[in-house]
Structure 1
Amino acid sequence: MKIGTLFGIGATLALLSGQAFAGAGHGAANGIGEPGKAENVDRVIEVEMDEMKYSPKSIDVKEGETIKFVVKNVGKLVHEFNLGTDEMWDAHKDEMRTMFQKGMMTMKRLNHAKMMEHGMMHDDPNSVLLEPGETAEVIWTFSETAEMGFACNVPGHREGGMVGKIAMNHH
């Protein structure tokens, strides 16, 4: 009985910590849109991440448009593609710093076992964290929002200028 109770408490705490992480600057709760579905993709945009820059630097989208971003890290360091706002990225900054401090990531590698151990899998639908040479997809449906973009929240990268702009086209 004690083992079952301890497991239940542990599972509850794990779920709560995951919810706290998900709410701290990630996803639909912040009015930037919601995860899209592959069958609803209107357009595919390829994004390359390199040291302190994205290509393209700016992307035009329409309200309600579903875009599949194919994101490739062509650089030599770990980089992130994170759709969001300054407020969301500021909230996410501490989590990314913690990932470095706890050995979940280095400048060149991700340690998925440690990420799992700490309950910080970095698997939010508006974001991908990639090692050099990796490619991943983000499918997103955009809502009308003013100031949003994409940024790399690896410590020092956003501050170094690794930010891109999302421009909402209302026509």
Structure 2
Amino acid sequence: MKHVIFAGALALFSLPALASPAHSFAFGAPAPAAKADRTVEVVMGDMYYEPRSLQVKAGETVRFVLVNKGAVIHEFSLGDAVMHAKHQKEMIAMQGQMDHAAMGHGNMQQGQRMKHDDPNTVMVEPGKRGELTWTFSESTPIEFACNVPGHYQAGMVGRLTIGQ
């Protein structure tokens, strides 16, 4: 009987977690690449993006092909300045974990340690390619940025305008 009560309580308390998605974004949602209206290539260099700004339309689905021509890992993250500031704090915490691993307490590659499951973000190793497909939902300015510690501050950020 205790097991039934415990299972019932556990199910009841997990309902709110199941009812709401872990990630929700006012500016849109991830989409399958097959649904893309167009493809945009974004080059990631060391402390820059090319192009530096992009325009999309509300309701448009864009497949971003990300090419890291830099010497270090970079990310492409969609969000507003507040989201990027929060994400940068998370990345600093991850870097602290990496520093701990570098002292002999682990042997994972840098990209493996910095991976995270944010649907609006893609990490790309040097010399590699990545993709992110997104459907934009409302007319608002956001940014695409690299939140690897110090990269945003060094200018690795671009403006993405969502128009009508």
- TM alignment of 1:1-171, pairs within 5 A: 29-103=24-98, 110-112=110-112, 115=113, 121-170=115-164
Looking at structure 1, the residues matched to 162 and 90 of structure 2 have their Cα atoms a distance apart, in angstroms, of: 28
Q: Which amino acid aligns with 2:131?
A: E
State the TM-score, normalizing by the size of structure 2.
Answer: 0.76
Between structure 1 and structure 2, the one with the greater Rg is 2
State the TM-score, normalizing by the size of structure 1.
Answer: 0.73
The root-mean-square deviation of aligned C-alpha atoms, in Å, is 2.3
**Count of residue pairs the alignment pairs up:** 138
**CA-CA distance at 1:121 after TM superposition:** 3.5
Q: Which runs of 5+ in 2 are unaligned?
A: 1-16, 103-108
Runs of 4+ in 1 over 2 A off after TM superposition: none
Looking at structure 2, the residues matched to 139 and 110 of structure 1 have their Cα atoms a distance apart, in angstroms, of: 24
Q: For residues 84-129 of structure 1, what are the alpha-carbon distances to aligned partners after superposition, in whole Å with 9 as ceiling and x for unaligned?
A: 11111111111100111111899xx6252xx3xxxx7413221111
Looking at structure 2, the residues matched to 127 and 145 of structure 1 have their Cα atoms a distance apart, in angstroms, of: 20
Q: Which amino acid aligns with 1:76?
A: A
What is the percent sequence identity of the aligned residues? 43
